[in-house]
Every structure is written in C-alpha cells, then in structure tokens.
Structure 1
C-alpha cells in the first residue's frame, strides 16, 4: 500500500508541474533548445502535426492516432504488467502462509519473512516491481504530450467533435475518469486486491484525480487520457481475461 501511495504522490507531483513550468508559454519549433525540447516535445509535436496534415488539419484525430500508436509501443510493458499481476495473484495462498508463519514483529523474524518472500518470488519468477515500470515510462510521455499540445500553436486553434482542443471541456473529464475507473476495475477483478479496503480507496482516488486535472487542462490532453484508457480497457479484456481463464483451466 505504501508503494502505491508513493507512486500516486509522484504522479500528482509531476502532473502539478504541468501547470506552467519548463517554457510552457513558448511555442515548440525545430530551433527550440534543450534535451527535453529536442528529443521529447518537438518530435511528439512533429508527429501530431504530420498526422493532422494527412487528415486536412484534423488535430483531434491526430491525437487519437498518436495515442493509439503510443499505447501499441507500450503494449509489451503492459502485457508484462498484466502477467505480473496474474502471477502475484497465483502465489497469494503461499504468500499468506509465509506471512502467518513469520507474524512476529521482531527484527529477526521480519528478516526471515523477507528472505522467504523473495525466495517465493524467485521460485515463481515474480517481479513485484514489474507493475510499476509502465507508470514510470508513461510519465515522461504524458508530460511531453502536454507540452506538445500546449506549445503547438495549431492545436490551440482547432476543434474536434463538440469541443475546442485548446480549452478545457466539461464532458471529456467525466469520460476520462469513468474510463480510468473501468480500466482499474478490470485490472483488479478476481484479484485479492479487490478485497482490500485500502486498494479500494486507490480504485476511486485515481479516477477522481484524473477527472479533476482534466477539468483544468486543455481538452486535447483529456482526449489523450480518454483514448488511452479506452485502449487499456480493450487490452485488458483481450489479454487478461483469457489469461485468467487459462489459469483457471490449469487448476
């Protein structure tokens, strides 16, 4: 639980800096200096512009396409995360036995608990940190996407569907929060975490956080969240459910 809270604090802290730092008021161009601008923000801005020009300057459709491409690139990491989650679920009975065996809080017992827990992880090839990797990989992409959206002048002046890409929208944040909730709900379905009250708090905290941020950020970024989370929902249904069914057949 502490690890989850720590990761959430990192996400909140990084998202908080999106409101106005790192040259956010300066348009991004090929001449923009700095590693961040040259290797993160400008390439993403260029890709967004490229796809927009392919579809008669439809920057909203461009964001949808680029978001799907990003999710496809991250797919191997997300599959690894799903497999890690499934593996952690499978070893829960053995893990609980070890925790009950070493329930005493003295230092020597706790050391033995850690040793046997690590041996259990190694035996089943479980990496408890595998689920964290996609979060850390996605954070620079999220921040770069925000900068590309804010600093690509053309995006600020275009519409998509019913909303202006450069201004906050009232409907997209709700959709983004709902999609985030559904995606996390599917991830937790059938796992021991679903019975943990603390994890249930996390289930609601992240969608609320996404919704609140989306109300203040440009609709283009909310669109990125919506498409990304819908992709994750479909991915989870296509990958995790067959994985769970196969696991059940083996038992």
Structure 2
C-alpha cells in the first residue's frame, strides 16, 4: 500500500512538470511506442483507442505480474521470519531504549543487525522496483494520449479520452478503495491497525489526480485495479501456506 502512495505522489509531481520534447529520448523511446501500441490494439476494435488503452493496461500488468508475485512471496517469507525473530528483536530494542550511553547503544544496535541477518529479515522495505517501472509507464501513457490528436479526439463509452470525467474519476477511486480493502484483509492482524489509514489515502489521491487528468488515466487505473484484485487473489492462493 505504501508503494502505491509513493507511486501516486511521484506521478503527481512529474505530471505537473514540462511535457517531453517530441525529438527527445523519453518521447521517442516510450511516448511514441505507447501511442502506436494504443492505435494498434484499437485497430482490432474498429479503431477504438479506449479499448486500445484497456489492452495496453492488461499487457503492462501481465508483464509486471511475475515480479509482483515474487515480491508478495518474499514479503510473506519475511513476515514468517519476523515472527520467529520478534522475541530477540523486542529484547534488544528494549535494551537499546534503556541504554545509558551512545557506546552501549551502538553495541546493542550491532547485535540487533546480527539478529536481522540471522533470520534473513530486512528492516527496510526494498519493494520499490515496481514503482520505478510503473511511473514512466504512466507518464508515457499520459503524454501519448494528450499529444496524439487522433487519440485525444476520440470518445470511449460516455467520455472523451482527453478530457477529465467525474464519473470515471469516481469509478477509479472506488475500485482502488476496493482493491485496498481486499489487500487489507490479507494483512497480518499485527499490521492492520497501522495500515488502516492507507485504505483511504490511495483512493483520495487517485481521485485528486484524475480530477485534473484526461479520463484515459482513470480508465487505465480502473482496469489496473481490477487486475490487481485478481493478482491479490492469485498470490493468496499460491502463498497462503508460507509463514
């Protein structure tokens, strides 16, 4: 969930910056290929670029799926190891808090790091690779839509792809809340309380960004949220016995 917040915040900052130059590396390597891909997939549906965006979204999520499943597996393994390590970690943390000088704290901290290594537990969250990959994809999709006259001029369902749409914005926010809620159900009881605020933060940010963005962006997010619900179900079935 925290990764989603980082992704949305990064995206918001980047989308408020300058558009890429048409002869620049980012446009040539990502924006133009995305535009061509949307048009290519749309050609199978009587030139519907909305359906092209849907298929691009599914393709992106399928490419990310092995990485995301592997990240879930590592997270569950780490949670199991953390349960085993918790008594030793708690004891050393109490000793660190009660330490009288910096030298004693440093020695106890080194012992704590040894415990992390012993149980193969990382105190840092290293699952940022999907964020790094998704951010340029979202940026490329955004600029592919806004800088392509053919895509921007077309409508899909009830909305224009290049104009903000309140209904599509609310659908994306609702689906992200549902996805967050399902993710919340799979969390250990020990972490649910501290993660509860995240149930609302990501949908609110989705709605805020969508309010100022082409309707194609919440369309992308809506399809992605549906796919992530499937992904969470699949990962739970595959790794539910890992502790």
TM-score normalised by L of structure 2: 0.86
The answer for the alignment partner of 1:21 in structure 2 is 18
Q: Deviations over 1:24-63 (max 9, x none)?
A: xx7xxxxx31211111111111101111223222011110
Cα pair distance change 1:239/1:127, threshold 3 Å: farther
Matches within 5 A, 1:228-239: 228-239=224-235
For CA contacts below 8 A with separation 6 or more, give which structure has more relative contact order.
Answer: 2
For the residue of structure 2 that corresponds to 1:74, the secondary structure is helix
Cα pair distance change 1:20/1:153, threshold 3 Å: farther
The answer for the alignment partner of 2:207 in structure 1 is 211
The answer for the alignment partner of 1:29 in structure 2 is none
Pick one of 148, 153, 169 that aligns with 1:152. 148
Contact 2:7 2:131 survives alignment (8 Å)? no
More moved, 199-208 vs 66-75: 199-208
More moved, 90-99 vs 221-230: 90-99
Q: Deviations over 1:151-199 (max 9, x none)?
A: 1111211111111111111112222122222223333324237644332
The answer for the alignment partner of 1:197 in structure 2 is 193
Q: Are residues 1:59 and 2:58 paired? A: no
Kindly state the Cα deviation for residue 203 of structure 1 after the two structures are TM-superposed.
2.7
For the residues of structure 1 that align with 2:31 and 2:190, how far apart are their CA atoms?
A: 38
Matches within 5 A, 1:79-228: 79-103=69-93, 104-105=96-97, 106-121=105-120, 129-192=125-188, 195-228=191-224
User: Aligned-pair RMSD on alpha carbons?
Assistant: 2.5
Number of residue-to-residue matches in the alignment: 234
Cα pair distance change 1:194/1:210, threshold 3 Å: farther
Runs of at least 5 residues in structure 2 that lack an aligned partner in the other structure: 98-104
Cα pair distance change 1:194/1:173, threshold 3 Å: farther
Contact 1:15 1:143 survives alignment (8 Å)? no
Kindly state the Cα deviation for residue 128 of structure 1 after the two structures are TM-superposed.
5.6
Runs of at least 5 residues in structure 1 that lack an aligned partner in the other structure: 27-31
Q: Deviations over 1:82-105 (max 9, x none)?
A: 112221222232232132121123
Contact 2:7 2:135 survives alignment (8 Å)? no
Contact 1:165 1:220 survives alignment (8 Å)? yes
For the residues of structure 2 that align with 1:83 and 1:228, how far apart are their CA atoms?
A: 20
